[in-house]
Amino acid sequence: MSHAIELAQADAAPLGRGDATRRWALRFPDGVERFAGLTRPEARGLASALEADERDGWSTALAEVGLPALLTDGAGPHLLDDAGTLVIVLGSHPSLDGALVAMGEPEPEHRIGLVARREGGVWAWLCDARVAPDHRVDALDALAALDDLDGGAAWARTFGGPG
C-alpha cells in the first residue's frame, strides 16, 4: 500500500454532475477515497496540505472549493467534506473567535457544526453532528448559544455527533 495521498478519478461525485472538472477525489494511505468533487488543482493542493496530517484528522478536514455559480445569499466559502458533501459556511460564531458556523446539504441529514480555517485551503470541523432536517433550527440555535469550545462536544452528543 502506498503511503502517499494520491489523486483518484471520481466520476460519480455529486458536484461533478454539473461540472465535469469536479470529478476528482483523494485516495488516502488507508485505501479510502475522500473529498469526491474536487477539481484536479484543488485535489493536488489538498493532498499536499494533508500529507502531514494524522489519520484521525482526515475525517474532520474540509476542502475549500471555488463554486462561483452557486448562489448562497452571502454565505460562504464553500467547503467539501470527506464524504463529498457540500458544506457552506454560514457566518462567524457570535462569541467564539475563529469559529464559524457551517451546514452541509441534507444527505439525508445535515452535517452542522463549527469549523475553522487552517492553511492551504484546508478547514477543519471543531465539532459537528448529523442533524435531521426537522431539528436543524434547534441545533443551529444551540450552537450559536455556546460560549466556549469545550461545550462543542456536549452540543455534538446532544444532536447526534461523535462528541
> CA-to-CA distance for 98 and 26, rounded, in angstroms?
27
The percentage of residues in the chain with a pLDDT greater than 90, rounded to a whole number, is 74
pLDDT of residue 1: 45
β-pair partners for 89 = 102
Write out residues in the chain with pLDDT < 50, as ranges.
1
Per-residue three-class SS string for the chain: CCCCCEEEECCCCHHHCCCCCCCEEEECCCCCEEEEEECHHHHHHHHHHHCCCCHHHCCCEEEEECCCCCCCCCCCCEEEECCCCEEEEEEECCCCCCCEEEEECCCCCEEEEEEEECCCCEEEEEEEEEECHHHHHHHHHHHHCCCCCCHHHHHHHHCCCCC
Which residues have a Cβ under 8 Å from the Cβ of 39 and sit 6 or more positions away? 21, 22, 24, 65
The region that residue 91 occupies, defined by phi over 0 for left and psi between -120 and 50 for alpha, beta otherwise, is left
Cell of 134: 426537522
Q: Are strands 61-65 and 122-131 parallel, antiparallel or unpaired?
A: antiparallel
Cell 470541523 sits on residue: 125
pLDDT of residue 57: 77
pLDDT of residue 51: 85
pLDDT of residue 127: 95
